[in-house]
Amino acid sequence: MRRKTAIPPAPLPQRHGVDPVRLRLPGTGAWSTVREYLVHRLPAVDPARIDAMLCGREILGTDGPLAPDAPFAPGAHLWFYRDLPAEVHVPFEIEVLYRDEHLVVADKPHFLATTPRGRHVTQTALSRLRHGLGLPALSPAHRLDRLTAGLAMFVVRPDERAAYQNLFRDRLVRKEYRALARYEPGLELPRTVRSRIVKERGVIAAQEVAGPPNSESLIELTGRTGGVGHYRLRPRTGRTHQLRLHMNSLGIPILGDPIYPVLLDEPAPDDFGSPLQLLSAVLEFTDPVTGGERRFESRRRLAPEPGPAR
């Protein structure tokens, strides 16, 4: 059995809650210098920028900053900060509802991504919490869509990460969402919606297709305000955009949804005026580390407040 090589600790701290990039040089190659390899490995980066980073002692190996002519060393590790994309500040606070030595549970606002991805790096729940709480090893237990508000759970200790992530993988977390959508008096609720959902990489919208169901949601009407219905959604599975697709399939797409039923033009990055009216409201589970029963509930509310269902 091939033994894994231990990864040395990063010589650079996190910046704005974001880890430095770590690269391991390949075991063989025709490159004579680290610079040559980086130009090959990072084609989207201007070679002049790589030169500037090397001259500025911004690329580090295990023994410190690398010189511009540092020789290629097979298998060596190196670290550097990537140039962060220009990001629009999300002008809403993330509230910590619970924190102990195992978990952080936060109430995420709309428009704030859970983890760094693509153009959202520092303006994410994970980066803000790592930086604000001084917890550089904090990691997500699950992923909540950027447009969805509410409960997002994070793991404090790296050695406990898998135990909490497996709760979501194995469907051992009881989730409850709130949503606003058009009130449809002729729609019989509650009902369970089952369908087969597929999501192609690089395509924004997921689709419901023919075939054995791989998704299931219980949808209930809890109240209404005029023509707006207030719905409680209980997903039994966790497919991408599952609740949004199931609500749309009933003819009551969630208010503020920019994808279903019609993909709208992407709003300006600083347009926070029409949030998706979907809230991760409740998480319940048996803690895999402590054995205790956990229940967390969001303090956020979707407006308007509901009246009685009729």
The CB-side HSE value for 298 (13 A sphere, CA atoms) comes to 24
In angstroms, what is the C-alpha Rg of the chain?
Answer: 23
Q: 141 and 168 in contact (C-beta within 8 Å)?
A: yes
Q: Does residue 83 have an active-site annotation?
A: no
- Pick from 74, 86, 79: nearest CA to 123: 86
The residue annotated as part of the active site, out of 145, 170, 265, 270, is 145
What would you measure as the largest C-alpha separation in the chain, in angstroms? Answer: 75
What type of residue sits at position 158?
P
φ, ψ of residue 214 to 5 degrees: the values are: -125, 10
Q: Give the whole-angstrom CA distance, residue 260 versus residue 233.
A: 17
From residue 56, how far is each of 10, 106, 160 by CA, in Å? 18, 38, 38
From residue 212, how far is each of 58, 72, 208, 216, 238 by CA, in Å? 53, 52, 11, 11, 16
**Cβ-based burial of 163 (10 A; exposed 0-12, middle 13-18, buried ≥19):** middle
Q: Which residues are catalytic?
A: 145
